[in-house]
Structure 1
Amino acid sequence: MCSNFEPATLKQIEAILDNQITLGLDSYKNHVYPKDQCPIIISSDGNMKVVMGQFGLSPKWANQPVDYSTYNARLEGIESKKTFEPPFTHNQFCLVPMQAFFEPYYLDGKNDWQRIYRKDSQAFTIAGMFEFNPHFNDPIHTFTLLTHNANNDAFMSRFHRPEKEKRSISLVEEQQRSEYLHASHQEIKNLMSKIENEIFAHKGS
């Protein structure tokens, strides 16, 4: 799971896109929690486009934010979930540019939140899924981060309570970004990568 992260800066996003962002974006927090907004990357007319997205997916049929957690979506069984099935089967995938994200780390029974970041301090993109909800007073893009079971992941299995299932978000590498945004839901798992110790590190508070 991932409930909070540091979004990439606009300059970092411009570097990811290899293009200057001309769309005016509202200011956004440097530490994002559910219901906060930050830039996400979607496909638009075959190109990559940056829009503001609210962290926590609100389904198109909702006329107000849902009162349950939708900031992470389990890939296993996702097509049976009323909230997540429509954007998943309609291939509404997005990239969430980050500088770091945070996960709980337990040592001697005590939790110490860890900042997880690239060793080279570069921004990276995480696999997400979005919805556009036209029913709110202000029509808005909302998004969720796709997660997988990480019990056997060498790096991400370190986090969360020892007795609990390990969950992890997934990386979309630079060379896979465009393909991921244009992929069908049958293809996306092959375009997602695990977060590995060779590239990432973590540090406590």
Structure 2
Amino acid sequence: MCSNFEPATLDQIEVIIESQYALNLDGPLADYKPHVYPKDYCPIIIPTEDGMTVVAGQFGLSPKWADKPVDYSTYNARLEGIENKKTFEPPFTHNQFCLVPMQAFFEPYYINGKNHWQRIYQKDAEAFTIAGMFEFNPHFDEPIHTFTLLTHNADDEAFMSQFHQPKKEKRSIALVEADKRAQYLEASHNEIIDLMSKVEGDRFAFGEG
């Protein structure tokens, strides 16, 4: 699971999408936080008819049928059985996938039974994109985009299995590599698994942050 992260800067996002883009900085993106937690806003990349577009997304998916923010955790969505989840099934089966640009994310690391939060980042310090799913909710006083990070079991992953409580299931978010980003945004829900990559120790490192 991933409950907090450092979003990429706007300059880094411009490099990621490889083009100039129109961005309204009068709203939640005017001063988005350098460290994002559930309910905070940050930039996400969504598909449009004209290609990639950057919008402000609230961390924690609010389903389209909700008339107010949900009172349970929706910042991560387990890929296993996602089609059977009332909150996540509609955007999943309607292929509403997004990219979440990050500089780093944080996971708990236990030493002698005590949690030490670790900052996980690319060794080259470059930004990267994480597989997400979004919803647009028009029913709130101010219509918003919201999003969740897609997760998978990481029990057998050498790098990501180091985190979270001992003897508990290990979960991980997934990378979308640069050459797969456009495909991921346009993919059907039956195709996205093949467009995701694992977070691995050859490229990533961690330390207390």
State the TM-score, normalizing by the size of structure 1.
Answer: 0.99
| Whole-Å separation in 1 of the counterparts to 2:79 and 2:117 | 25
The correspondence of residues 23-172 of structure 1 with structure 2, limited to 5 A, is 23-25=23-25, 26-172=30-176
**Offset, 1:22:** 2.3
Provide runs of 4+ in structure 1 moved above 4 Å.
none
1:42-89, Cα deviation, whole Å (9 max, x unpaired): 000050010000000000000000000000000000000000000000
**Offset, 1:20:** 2.1
* Alignment gaps of 5+ in structure 2: none
| Whole-Å separation in 1 of the counterparts to 2:74 and 2:48 | 24
- Report SS of the residue matched to 2:182: helix
State the TM-score, normalizing by the size of structure 2.
Answer: 0.97
The code of the aligned residue for 1:130 comes to F
**Offset, 1:27:** 1.9
The code of the aligned residue for 2:70 comes to V
| Whole-Å separation in 2 of the counterparts to 1:43 and 1:181 | 6
Residue 13 (structure 2) aligns with: 13
Residue 4 (structure 2) aligns with: 4
- Aligned residues, how many? 205
**RMSD of the TM alignment (CA)?**
0.7
Task: State the percentage of identical aligned residues.
Answer: 74
| Whole-Å separation in 1 of the counterparts to 2:207 and 2:21 | 32
| Whole-Å separation in 2 of the counterparts to 1:193 and 1:161 | 23
